[in-house]
């Protein structure tokens, strides 16, 4: 008996969704890490533009998706979510990861399986620890930018995403991943996960099959992370007897209690088929020192510091401004307490 985390995609976004995330230490840490990474990406884009003789701030805002120069607090406004696919993609990714970390680290409920729909597949990949949060941010930024171009066929977007993801280091899954596109388990096959991330933009979701695959892998309860609710009802309808609960609808504490009662053995650190990673709460509730980021397989505990175990050998990243895995150095956003 195990618990699966579900991550929603486009269509579930709503204004203010990042500001309504669970008010926990783990959630605030994810917001801080994402804010730092987005500002770093905006700064890099601005520096490149300045080198070409353009005003750094204006060009940086344009190149980085406009919202980035002002940090994460501007991503979930009604205007940003309506007009910018980039803002929508990034906000959904951050909301899903923050909700998952809060569930795992603050409530002690950890996933034995993960699955995501659309951009939610990237949040699932972060919690599976095949992507770091920063790597996922770079990828969904590109996905949003490409989709923002009306003349970009979805098949071409998938090719561009595959080219980008080819620069990212492969890591073993710490939490088994179930494909929303193929409707089957990708347990142990990280290359298949990366293929799913690229191709999902051009392929329909088979969520009913994915829900059946989750049940086949032993899931008895599915927890949908913010800001979604639709996957909860679709999963329950596809698998009679499966308990499905939405954090957005029931709140973090009640959703956690529902998951615990459905699967009493799913305590902190108890993962099916996974190692003792640090990304989704592998060391249990309150593991503050280990909240560095999904994919942290023994690197430094500092959420913004270099993690050599994760980032060495990532290859040149044409969309991230340098080698995938470039160190971050000092954290200029220390003491971040979440969104006001």
Q: Which two tokens stand for residue 261?
A: 């009662």
Using H for helix, E for strand and C for coil, what is the string for 96-164? HHHHHHHHHHHCCCCCCEEEECCCHHHHHHHHCCCCCHHHHHHHHHHHHHHHHCCCCCHHHHHHHHHHH
Closest residue by Cα to residue 241 from 266, 257, 262: 262
pLDDT in tens, 78-110: 999 999 999 999 999 999 999 999 999 999 999
Closest residue by Cα to residue 175 from 107, 240, 246, 104: 104
Which residues, 6 or more positions from 149, have their beta carbon under 8 angstroms from its beta carbon?
A: none
pLDDT at 2: 95
Average pLDDT over residues 163-172: 96
pLDDT in tens, 280-292: 544 333 333 333 3
pLDDT in tens, 199-258: 999 899 999 999 999 999 999 999 999 999 999 999 999 999 999 999 999 999 999 999
The Cβ of residue 275 has, within 10 Å, a number of other Cβ atoms equal to 12
pLDDT in tens, 175-196: 999 999 999 999 999 999 999 9
**DSSP letter assigned to residue 334:** T
Q: Which residues, listed in sequence order, are joined to residue 246 by a DSSP beta bridge?
A: 224
pLDDT in tens, 133-157: 999 999 999 999 999 886 778 889 9
| Dihedral over Cα of 193, 194, 197, 203: its sign | negative
The answer to whether residue 49 scores a pLDDT higher than 90 is no
Q: Which two tokens stand for residue 110?
A: 């950890």
Q: Which two tokens stand for residue 238?
A: 């596809």
Kind of pairing between the strands at 2-7 and 219-224: parallel
Map out the domains of the chain as residue ranges.
2-17+82-275
pLDDT at 286: 35
pLDDT at 336: 39
Mean pLDDT estimate for the chain: 78
> Which of the four CATH numbers 3.80.10.10, 3.80.30.20, 3.40.50.2300, 3.40.366.10 does domain 2-17+82-275 have?
3.40.366.10
What is the edge-to-edge ordering of all strands in the sheet holding 219-224?
177-178, 113-116, 2-7, 219-224, 243-246
pLDDT at 40: 86
Cβ-contact 247, 223 below 8 angstroms? yes
3-class SS of residue 2: strand
Q: Which two tokens stand for residue 64?
A: 């980085």
Q: Which two tokens stand for residue 182?
A: 């193929």
Percent of the chain with pLDDT over 90: 61
pLDDT band at 266 (very low <50, low <70, confident <90, very high): low
Average pLDDT over residues 62-86: 73
Q: Please, what is the end-to-end C-alpha distance for the chain in angstroms? A: 39
pLDDT band at 63 (very low <50, low <70, confident <90, very high): very low
């Amino acid at each position: 008996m195990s618990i699966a985390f579900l991550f929603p995609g486009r269509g579930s976004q709503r204004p203010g969704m990042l500001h309504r995330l669970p008010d926990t230490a783990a959630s605030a840490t994810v917001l801080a890490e994402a804010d730092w990474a987005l500002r770093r990406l905006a700064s890099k884009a601005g520096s490149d533009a300045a080198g070409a003789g353009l005003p750094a701030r204006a060009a940086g805002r344009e190149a980085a998706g406009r919202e980035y120069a002002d940090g994460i607090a501007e991503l979930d406004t009604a205007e940003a979510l309506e007009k910018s696919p980039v803002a929508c993609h990034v906000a959904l990714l951050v909301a899903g990861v923050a909700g998952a970390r809060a569930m795992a680290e603050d409530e002690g409920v950890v996933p034995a399986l993960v699955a995501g729909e659309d951009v939610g597949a990237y949040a699932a990949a972060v919690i599976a620890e095949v992507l770091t949060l920063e790597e996922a941010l770079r990828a969904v930024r590109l996905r949003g930018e490409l989709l923002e171009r009306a003349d970009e066929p979805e098949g071409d977007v998938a090719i561009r995403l595959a080219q980008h993801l080819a620069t990212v280091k492969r890591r073993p899954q710490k939490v088994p991943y179930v494909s929303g596109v193929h409707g089957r388990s990708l347990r142990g096959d990280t290359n298949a996960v990366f293929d799913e991330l690229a191709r999902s933009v051009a392929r329909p979701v088979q969520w009913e099959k994915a829900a059946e695959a989750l049940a086949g892998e032993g899931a008895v309860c599915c927890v949908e992370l913010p800001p979604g609710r639709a996957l909860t009802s679709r999963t329950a309808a596809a698998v009679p007897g499966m308990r499905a609960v939405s954090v957005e609808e029931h709140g973090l504490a009640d959703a956690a209690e529902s998951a615990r009662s459905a699967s009493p053995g799913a305590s902190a650190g108890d993962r099916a088929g996974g190692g003792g990673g640090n990304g989704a709460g592998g060391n249990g509730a309150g593991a503050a020192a280990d909240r560095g980021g999904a994919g942290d397989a023994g690197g430094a505990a500092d959420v913004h510091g270099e993690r050599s175990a994760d980032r060495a050998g990532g290859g040149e990243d044409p969309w991230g401004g340098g080698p995938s895995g470039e160190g971050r150095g000092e954290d200029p956003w220390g003491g971040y307490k979440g969104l006001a």
